[in-house]
Amino acid sequence: MKKPFKLILLALMGSITAVPAQTPAIITSDKTGWHKIAETTVDFKKEKDEVSVLISDRFASIQFRVIDAPIQLVSLEIFYESGDKQDIAVNSTIKSKGSSRIIDLNGGERSLKRIAFVYKTLPNSKDVKAHVEIWGLKTNTDEKITGEIKSNSTKTEESKSMGMPSLMVSDSKGWHKIGDRTVDFKIDKDVFNVIGADRFSAIKIKAIDASILISNLTVTYESGDVQYINFDTKIMAGTETKEIMLNGGERSLKTIAFEYKTIPNETATKAELEVWGLKTNLVTK
């Protein structure tokens, strides 16, 4: 029986650095305040990028922030779910560690479909590439908020039932949650598909609310080779496995498959499992 799949992302982040610009930014929180929609690293030439926004996609304003080198933000195209478009001429320089002006969207808080922007980097003495972030402001003052949240909830449930891939949206160093899943207590096998910022050097599995026996991990890389790991490890509720090193350092993953079954005398009927991956950023490909 197919298990429900719960797609978890690093909250509020959509990265287009390691993936094509068309990869969606999936916003998983609808709290009032600023949320990071996307980030990208840009080269020293005129360029255009685009990010699609899914799930909690309603914003009243956006802002561009630059981390390590100045850029010139030339223009924006804001595409709304309703079908209309807002063209914005910016032509403004954003200094290193600076931000653009707050750019208000037409009609208050609106459901976004995608954001396209044209930029060019500015000369700097260290020839540093520019790391750019897009942030969106949620005010939650729209009278249609309740209906839209319900609609977004429906989208999320549909994604779970369809077994949508685990979309990684951050490439910063450290441990990142790849996804989680609720499993029943019988011998079964599950697979996590990983896309986006999918490079990891190690993985580990956490048992949140019930103990479980994990066995026979299979890691398939984007290059096509496969790593078989004879695991057979009990994970007690509230604990995690040891760090499982992947072949060849930080690699681009395609899928992580594992078999599992309940531990005798376990009283729970289901277990919530999380898969985490470690990014070292030692590989630049």
For the chain, the domains span: 11-161, 166-279
Quick check: 104 pLDDT over 50? Answer: yes
Please, what CATH class does the domain formed by 11-161 belong to?
mainly beta
Q: Taking all residues of the chain, what is their mean pLDDT, rounded to a whole number?
A: 76
Average pLDDT rounded to a whole number, residues 131-145: 74
159-163, 227-231, 262-266: the lowest-pLDDT one: 159-163
Q: Specify the pairing of strand 47-55 against strand 25-27.
A: parallel
pLDDT at 231: 79
Q: Which of 58, 59, 60, 63 has its CA nearest to residue 102?
A: 63
Q: Contact at 8 Å (CB) between 136 and 61?
A: yes
Read off the pTM.
0.46
Q: What is the DSSP secondary structure assignment for residue 15, as one 8-state letter?
A: B
Residue 88 has pLDDT above 90, yes or no: yes
Q: Mean pLDDT check: name the lowest of 144-153, 197-206, 264-273.
A: 144-153
- pLDDT value, residue 169: 65
* pLDDT of 157 higher than 70: no
- pLDDT band, very low/low/confident/very high, at 163 (cuts 50, 70, 90): very low
Residue 39 pLDDT level (bands cut at 50, 70, 90): confident
Q: How confident is the model at residue 151 (pLDDT cuts 50, 70, 90)?
A: very low
Which range has the worst mean pLDDT, 5-14, 56-65, 99-108? Answer: 5-14
Query: At 214, which helix (H) or strand (E)?
Result: strand 212-221
Q: What is the pLDDT of residue 281?
A: 81
- Sorted by sequence, the CB contacts under 8 Å of residue 82 that are 6+ apart come out as 110, 111
Q: What's the CATH code, domain 166-279?
A: 2.60.120.1380
The band of 228, judged by pLDDT with boundaries at 50, 70 and 90, is very high
**pLDDT, mean of residues 201-216:** 87
SS3 category, 35:
strand
Sheet of 33-42, strand order = 33-42, 130-138, 61-66, 103-104
Query: Is residue 190 pLDDT above 70, yes or no?
Result: yes
Report, as an integer, the average pLDDT of 54-63. Answer: 84
Flag whether pLDDT at 11 surpasses 90. no
Q: How far is CA 230 from CA 216, 227, 237, 256, 281, in A?
A: 5, 10, 21, 13, 27
Residue 133 confidence (pLDDT) above 60: yes
Looking at residue 121, its pLDDT comes to 78
Say whether 100 sits in a helix, a strand or coil.
coil
Give pLDDT, residue 236. 87
In this prediction, residue 143 carries a pLDDT of 42
Percent pLDDT > 70 in the chain is 73
User: Of 11-15, 40-44, 202-206, where does the model show the most confidence?
Assistant: 202-206
Collapsed DSSP state (helix, strand, coil) of residue 268: coil
